[in-house]
Amino acid sequence: MKKKYIGFTLAIVTLLLIGCMIIAGCGKEKAADTTPTTRLIVDMADREVTLPVEINRIAAVGPVPVINTFIFTMGEGDKIVNGLPGFAKSERWKYQTVFAPHLANMPTIQESRTEPNIEELVKLEPDVVFTMDEQMAASIYNANMNAVFLSWTEPEDVKQTIALVGKVLNKETLASEYIKYFDETVAGIGKAVSAIPQEKRPRVLYANMQSMTAPHEISDWWIETAGGQSVAKADRGGQQLAFSMEHLLKWDPEVIVVSTPEDLKLINEDPRFQKISAVANKRVYPTPMGAHVWAHRTAEQPLAIMWAAKTFYPETFKDLNLEQEIIDYYKKFYSKTLNEEQVKEILSGEPKI
C-alpha cells in the first residue's frame, strides 16, 4: 500500500513539474510575442507614421542631395538604397559619393527634382522614405511605404529636421550633439562679430552671375550671422531675386560669393563688373561644395557660417583653423575622414572626378 502511495505521489509531482515547464515555456513565448516590432512617430506635417523599430533601408526622393545631407549627418549614408537623380550625377556632386560610395551603383528612380518612379521605388523595399513634398508623401503612403515628411522653411529649422531624422534612424543622441554644435557655432561666431559696428560690416551678395539672380533666401541668414550685410535682403520677395546691372551698381557689394566656379571666371573677366568694389578689390569667392552647396540649404550650415565669417573677417578669425574644423565635422557626423586635398577641393567649390 505504501509503495502505491509513493508511486501516486511521484506521478502527481511529475505532472506538476511538467505543467510548470509548459507554463514557463508559454510565458517565454508570450514575452517574445509582445516585443514591439513597430513604433509611431509624428512627421513635420503632423502625420502619424508607423515605422519598423530598426531602419535598415532608407530612400530619399525629391531634392535628394539635400535630404541625403541629413542622413549622412546621422552616419547612416550606407543605408540609402536609391541612387542620385540624373541632375546630381555630375562631378559637381562628387562628394555625395565620397560620403556614401555605394550610391554610384544604386538605381536612379528620378531624373530631376520631380516625383520619382513609384513602381521602381517600391521594388527597393525601403523601411522609410524621406521627402520634402507633402503630396509626394501621400503618393508614397498610398503605395504602402512609410513616408516621412521633412520641412525646412526657416534657417534654424535645420535643427528640428535633424531631430526628426535622428529619431527615425535611432540616432537621437547624435542628433542632439549636432544641435548643440549648431547652436555653439552660431553663438561663437555671433559673439566674435558682435563688437563690429553695422556701418563697418561688409556689404555682401550671394549671386549666380550667369542668371543674374540672388538665389536661396537662406543666404541672407548666413551672411548676416557671419557678420555681413546682405544687400539683396531688402529687395527679396521670395527664394530667388532677379537683379539688373543697375541693382548691382547701386548695391556695390564689397564681397561677392558666387554659386559656381564658372561664375567666378565670368565676373572677373566681364568688363561690366570691373567697377564693383568686390571685383576691383578681388573679394569674389566661390561657395564651398561638400555634400551640398554650402550657401544653400544643407545640414552643413555650421561650416558655411564659419567659412563666411573667416572670409569676411580674416584677421578677426585668424586663429580659426577652418580646415581642421571641416575634418572634425565630417568625421564626427558623417563618419568619414577627409584628407587635406579633399578639404581644399571642397573649399574651392570645384570638385573634380
In the chain, where the domains are located = 38-176, 196-348
Q: What is the mean pLDDT of residues 206-234?
A: 94
CATH topology identical between 38-176 and 196-348: yes
Instruction: Report d(CA 219, CA 217) in Å as an integer.
Output: 5
Q: What are phi and psi of 66, to 5 degrees?
A: -70, -40
One-letter identity of residue 311: T
Asked if 263 contacts 208 with a C-beta cutoff of 8 angstroms, the reply is yes
Where does the pLDDT of residue 23 fall: very low under 50, low under 70, confident under 90, or very high at 90 and above? very low
Fold held by 196-348: Rossmann fold (3.40.50)
The top-level CATH class assigned to 38-176 is: alpha beta
Mean pLDDT across the chain: 90
Beta bridge partners of 208: 213
Cell matching residue 198: 553695422
One-letter identity of residue 324: Q
Given this model, what pLDDT does residue 87 score? 85
Instruction: Report d(CA 272, CA 88) in Å as an integer.
Output: 32
Using the predicted structure, report yes or no on whether residue 4 has a pLDDT greater than 50: no
Q: Regarding predicted confidence, which is higher, 53 or 14? A: 53
Given this model, what pLDDT does residue 240 score? 79
pTM exceeds 0.95, yes or no:
no
Q: What is the mean pLDDT of residues 175-203?
A: 97
Share of the chain above pLDDT 70, in %: 90
- Taking Cα atoms as reference points, which of 333, 294, 259 lies closest to residue 65? 294
Question: Model confidence over 26-82: pLDDT tens digits?
Answer: 444 455 557 889 999 999 999 999 999 999 999 999 999 999 999 999 999 999 999
Where does the pLDDT of residue 25 fall: very low under 50, low under 70, confident under 90, or very high at 90 and above? low
Question: Model confidence over 300-352: pLDDT tens digits?
Answer: 999 999 999 999 999 999 999 999 999 999 999 999 999 999 999 999 998 87
DSSP 121-173: HHHT--SEEEES-HHHHHHHHHTT--EEE----STTHHHHHHHHHHHHTT-HH
* Residues across the chain: 353
Q: What is the mean pLDDT of residues 9-30?
A: 48
Asked if 230 contacts 220 with a C-beta cutoff of 8 angstroms, the reply is yes
- What does the DSSP 8-state code read for residue 290? S
Count Cα neighbours of 192 within 13 Å in the Cβ-side half-sphere.
Answer: 25
Using the predicted structure, report yes or no on whether residue 18 has a pLDDT greater than 60: no
Instruction: Report d(CA 177, CA 203) in Å as an integer.
Output: 33
Question: Model confidence over 132-148: pLDDT tens digits?
Answer: 999 999 999 999 999 99
Q: What is the mean pLDDT of residues 167-196?
A: 97
Using the predicted structure, report yes or no on whether residue 119 has a pLDDT greater than 80: yes
Asked if 350 contacts 286 with a C-beta cutoff of 8 angstroms, the reply is yes
Given this model, what pLDDT does residue 153 score? 84
Question: Model confidence over 244-292: pLDDT tens digits?
Answer: 999 999 999 999 999 988 899 999 999 999 999 999 999 999 999 999 9
